[in-house]
Structure 1
């Protein structure tokens, strides 16, 4: 299947791009003090929930050819009542003996860390004329941010993840084949005179995916506890945490969360195991982790669907949200409502 690469001309962000109203809204959280802002970041509608980081390094090694190449990856996903097909083209790294890589859990952590850095003053930019947004950062700053949350990475590992993100392409199609976008996961460039791969303190620019730009422009993002999300043990747990924080907007003790094994498998592109019992054990370990960090107060199986020879086909769960999680969701609701109100008034 042939794909036309998107033509992007990277424009160095200007001073006014860092003072855009959209940047101010993106960095303005609903808190009572500066200290309360520290754990927070933003989830991005649709972009954060596509199964784009779902192929682990182990799985990649199984399908990589002896020449080190990987095929174009196709994923079908049903999400929030819509059906999408995504195509991911791997990044070819010249310093890895010509090996291809799909973005995976490491690259997801790097993107999350960059988006957190984008909530800091004078680091995020937004340009409506060029239709792009992003963040300036140094490699040292990015490594410090990752280490702060228990994800220590070497300079070489961070550079590799950035190169994979900048080299991998993603095409997103709707149910009827209409393209949403054909872009790189992000674009990356150095803009300081010291910008060299060997200089950890040089300044770099990451241009986020156009869906992040659209979300910033439409205020289609929500504040969430990034610090708590980064503390979770697995990529699937972090994906599910962000999904709940973004879409479970009616959180209350009287409105339990209903989740199913097959629903999570289909939406995340993960947790597909040869033995369903293993998938169940992994998922329930995540739910236990959610209890430990006060996302869930409790959870229980409410339905078990079995096929021939009593083989598990699906399990449906009901989880009661913890009061702490309910509080964060309500704060996110108010912040989003207030921000949209401010944006409307700014246009009058």
Structure 2
């Protein structure tokens, strides 16, 4: 295949489609590259259309569509046995009309008092991952090997602590250290049509400092490999710019989930083009865990009210669909804020600028290995 064909193929596939859920398996590695790898793909991932790069980051829709951060302390406690262990948790969901399921094997973390306890990834792990993806866009903190489809991020506990604190999501260094351990030791298995297509940790092949080094220098760096989904997205331009600062300002997990959904699906937001989704669409997110649907619907309204408060949406309408007197679904129609419209236009310009830059650059095979 010629370079021109590869580039055209890249751009043609740089949108979300049903093939995006199928990935090639690669042999895992144990250590990050010893030498710096110059990566135009990572450079493109780090370029934004904005006046303030500190406010923006990237979303990878296919990876973030996999439910994994919905566990609450009460739910985890119910899943644990008397010994503190827990069986893997399975959940059905759909992605772009594809029938999928996810199996989450909890991390077994050794306790100070002895024994091991099971932990599933939850809200702190979600926030830490967002911080890591932000650091990936900053020079000298990311390493990407296009040929092996490997992406590494360098960080310290203090870096993440400062980042989360600056976004109003403060976590202690011990909480962050625990989250990193959970992200590294849990295992996510993804199934498409009941066939396993990927299995791995949220943060893989973690090279970390020991306790003595940590006590001596809380800024000592760790290096972790991010999931193949992110590497694949970097290789094929399948990511999207969004307002990271606004995301981190949202208090509710469901608000952040809906916001990401709007970023990836409501790409041409304007004042005469609204967007809608169904209550049933949200039920496979794992974030609606109330026993009664009436309480889950109230939770959706609370999330939408927060998005309105954060100036992400201007307003919303609800339309209940009933059978007799029972509500069997609800349609939510979203009207965007002017600020959200501007941010989506900037994200679209970034896509166009990136594609033009690829076409203007010769001998750059922006594609995953075969």
Tell me the TM-score normalised to structure 2 length. 0.85
CA contact 2:143–2:151 (8 Å) conserved in 1 = yes
- Equivalent position of 1:48 in the other structure: 64
Q: Deviations over 1:111-154 (max 9, x none)?
A: 00111111111111101243210211111001100111111111
- Equivalent residues in 2 for 1:6-17 (5 A)? 8-17=28-37
Q: CA deviation at 1:78?
A: 1.2
- Equivalent position of 1:327 in the other structure: 342
- Equivalent position of 1:186 in the other structure: 203
Q: CA deviation at 1:271?
A: 0.9
SS in 1 for 2:356: helix
Q: CA deviation at 1:225?
A: 0.2
Q: CA deviation at 1:312?
A: 2.7
For the aligned residue pairs, the C-alpha RMSD in angstroms reads: 2.1
1:194, 1:274 → 2: CA distance? 43
- Equivalent position of 1:210 in the other structure: 228
The structure showing larger relative contact order (alpha-carbon pairs under 8 Å, at least 6 residues apart) is 2
- Equivalent position of 1:304 in the other structure: 320
SS in 2 for 1:42: strand
Provide structure 1 residue ranges, at least 5 long, that are not aligned to the other structure.
none
Judged with a 3 Å threshold, the aligned counterparts in structure 2 of structure 1 residues 23 and 14 are, in CA distance, closer, same or farther, namely: farther
Q: Deviations over 1:145-190 (max 9, x none)?
A: 0111111111111010000000011111212x33331111112533
- Equivalent residues in 2 for 1:16-35 (5 A)? 16-17=36-37, 19-31=38-50, 33=51
Judged with a 3 Å threshold, the aligned counterparts in structure 2 of structure 1 residues 157 and 188 are, in CA distance, closer, same or farther, namely: farther
SS in 1 for 2:36: helix
CA contact 1:191–1:205 (8 Å) conserved in 2 = yes
- Equivalent position of 2:111 in the other structure: 95
Provide structure 2 residue ranges, at least 5 long, that are not aligned to the other structure.
1-24, 364-370
Q: CA deviation at 1:15?
A: 4.1
- Equivalent residues in 2 for 1:112-151 (5 A)? 112-151=130-169
Q: CA deviation at 1:95?
A: 2.6
Tell me the TM-score normalised to structure 1 length. 0.91
Q: CA deviation at 1:14?
A: 4.0
- Equivalent position of 1:164 in the other structure: 182
CA contact 1:195–1:204 (8 Å) conserved in 2 = no
1:346, 1:67 → 2: CA distance? 58
1:343, 1:179 → 2: CA distance? 33
SS in 1 for 2:111: helix
Q: Which moved more, 1:237-246 or 1:223-232?
A: 237-246
